[in-house]
Amino acid sequence: MIEPLVKTIEVPCDQAEAFEVFVDQMGTWWPLARFSASVKFGMSPQGLRVQPRVGGTIVETSTDGTEHLWGTILEYDPHDYVRMDLHIGLPPQTASRVEVRFVALEAERTRVVLTQSEWERFGRFAEMMLQGYPRGWVVIFEQAYRMACGGRAPEDRAGEG
Amino acid sequence: MAYAQVLTALADPTRRHIFEALRDRPMTVGELARGQPVSRPAVSQHLRVLESAKLVSVEPRGNRRLYRIERTGLDELRGYLDRFWSDVLSAYGAEIARRKKTGKRGASGR
């Protein structure tokens, strides 16, 4: 009855880099200033660390050293596929499954397909995400993104080859 | 905003349990209360919150009221999460673009 949420983006790099940046180096790009567990608890986010293996954890650290468990890696299949249980410091029963698939289109072009299932169980997580979400940020970011890669917003890029 | 109301409604564990119970089939307050560690009036109150968030709708069935999942609230939440992942993926795309621009490979670059 409740269909998964699917988001697609195409990135100008090979499949291995697309995978490694997304998973192993998630901390280098995740917009922590906007979406973090620290904010929920009145702290400031410092970093995000991923143990890139099955059973590995995704942990956010606050500037005061507090750690927030985001979730666990359920399947780790470089450089094709990763599946995570994300609950971001909240009880595991609020978790939602997020899987990401990496499809090589060309030598330097990879399609990244993110699927979130059981997203309707995500009440608490989503409420946390709601914090510190300044109005207009999307617009600002999408402009920056367009400038950075001379492209369009990710939704528009879906299906392009 | 509507999605904020949906998030608030689902943020309460009891309400989430009620909502999830209704995923299986429509139920009356009595049926719902049997599966919850809370009183029947409390279940009714939670149902009102879910109803105003458009997560649940009610339909009279003879002398009973049957509660079922309503799509509108879920569509709001879906739209919100859709935008969330758009933002996250944009940040990811921007990082890839930044690396290309600076000529930097990932740590394990080949």
- Check CB contact of B109 with chain A, cutoff 8 Å: yes
Q: What percent of chain A has pLDDT over 90?
A: 42
- Check CB contact of B104 with chain A, cutoff 8 Å: no
| Preceding omega of A87 cis (within 30 degrees of 0) | no
In this prediction, residue A137 carries a pLDDT of 34
pLDDT digits (tens, 9 = 90+) for B55-104: 999 999 888 899 999 989 888 888 888 888 899 999 999 999 999 888 76
Is the pLDDT at A142 greater than 60? The verdict is no
Taking CA atoms, what residue in B is nearest to A158? B86
Q: Which of A28-32, A146-150, B12-16 has the lowest mean pLDDT?
A: A146-150
pLDDT category at A94 given cuts 50, 70, 90 is low
pLDDT top residue among A61 and A140:
A61
Instruction: State pTM to two decimals.
Output: 0.73
Q: Could you say which of A5, A124, A127 has the minimum Cβ distance to residue B85?
A: A5
Contacts of A102 in chain B (CB under 8 A): none
Contacts of A149 in chain B (CB under 8 A): 93-94, 96-97, 100
Mean pLDDT of chain A: 76
Is the pLDDT at A160 greater than 50? The verdict is no
Contacts of B74 in chain A (CB under 8 A): 2, 120
Cβ–Cβ below 8 Å for B97 and A120: no
DSSP A28-94: GTS-TTTS-HHHHTT--EEEEEE--STT-EEEEEETTS-EEEEEEEEEEETTTEEEEEE-TTS-GGG
Q: Could you say which of B23, B89, B107 has the minimum Cβ distance to residue A154?
A: B89
Mean pLDDT of B27-34: 92
In this prediction, residue A109 carries a pLDDT of 95
Long-range Cβ pairs for the range A54-59 (8 Å, 24+): A58/A26, A58/A84, A58/A86
pLDDT digits (tens, 9 = 90+) for A30-86: 988 877 777 766 788 899 999 999 999 999 898 988 888 888 899 999 999 999 988
Contacts with B32 (C-beta within 8 Å, 6 or more apart), sequence order: B18, B21, B22, B43, B47, B67
Contact A161, B35 (CB under 8 A): no
Cβ–Cβ below 8 Å for A127 and B8: yes
Q: Please tell me the distance in Å from B56's CA to the nearest CA on chain A.
A: 13
Contacts of B9 in chain A (CB under 8 A): 123
Q: How far apart are CA A125 and CA A43, in angstroms?
A: 17
